[in-house]
Amino acid sequence: MDNSYDNFKYLTGRLLLGADHLALEPLFQSKSDEELAQIFRNHETDPIGITDPNEVSLRRHMDSWLNEASLIYLSWLSGYSSDPEGKDQGNRIFAILGHPSLRPYYESYYKQALPCLFCLHLEENKIETQDSPGAFEAFANLYERFRNDRELACFLEFLDGYCYGKPPAIITIDSVIRAFENPDRIVEAAFRPASQLTPLDSGIIGLLHFATFCTSLHEFLEKCKGLPLLQSAFWFFYAYWFREYKKDVKNLSIQAIQNAAMNTKDSGSQALASESQDRLNIIMSALTGNDYASELIKQFPATDIGIASFDLTEKATVKSDLASRFAAYNKPRTN
Q: Contact residues for other proteins (CB under 8 A)? A: 1, 3, 6-7, 10-11, 13-14, 17, 80, 132-138, 140-141, 144-145, 147-148, 180, 183-184, 186-188, 190-194, 197, 207-209, 211-212, 214-216, 223, 253, 256-257, 260-261, 264, 269, 272-273, 276-277, 279-280, 283
**Would you put residue 308 in left (φ > 0), alpha (ψ -120 to 50) or beta?**
left
Least spacing, CB of residue 23 vs other proteins, in Å: 15
Q: Compare residues 194 and 316 and give the one whose CB is closer to other proteins.
A: 194
Q: Compare residues 39 and 257 and give the one whose CB is closer to other proteins.
A: 257
Least spacing, CB of residue 215 vs other proteins, in Å: 5
Q: Are strands 304-307 and 318-321 parallel, antiparallel or unpaired?
A: antiparallel
Q: Compare residues 194 and 302 and give the one whose CB is closer to other proteins.
A: 194
Q: Compare residues 134 and 306 and give the one whose CB is closer to other proteins.
A: 134
Least spacing, CB of residue 283 vs other proteins, in Å: 7
Q: Compare residues 68 and 311 and give the one whose CB is closer to other proteins.
A: 68
Least spacing, CB of residue 22 vs other proteins, in Å: 11
Q: Compare residues 269 and 290 and give the one whose CB is closer to other proteins.
A: 269
> For residue 319, what are the β-bridge partners?
306
Report the first-to-last Cα separation within the chain, whole angstroms.
49
Q: Compare residues 102 and 114 and give the one whose CB is closer to other proteins.
A: 114
Q: How far, in Å, are 26, 66, 334 from residue 60 at the CA level? A: 16, 10, 29
CA atoms within 13 A on the CB side of 177: 17
Question: 266: burial class by Cβ within 10 Å (0-12, 13-18, 19+)?
Answer: exposed
Least spacing, CB of residue 275 vs other proteins, in Å: 8
> For residue 318, what are the β-bridge partners?
307
Going by C-alpha positions, the residue among 313, 317, 302 that lies closest to residue 117 is 302
Least spacing, CB of residue 208 vs other proteins, in Å: 5
Decide: 192 and 201 in contact? Cβ < 8 Å. Answer: yes
Q: Compare residues 89 and 269 and give the one whose CB is closer to other proteins.
A: 269
Least spacing, CB of residue 199 vs other proteins, in Å: 16
Least spacing, CB of residue 212 vs other proteins, in Å: 4
Decide: 225 and 232 in contact? Cβ < 8 Å. Answer: no
CA–CA dist 232, 222 (Å, integer): 11
CA-based torsion, 117, 212, 144, 77: positive or negative: positive
Decide: 200 and 181 in contact? Cβ < 8 Å. Answer: no
For the chain, give the number of residues: 335
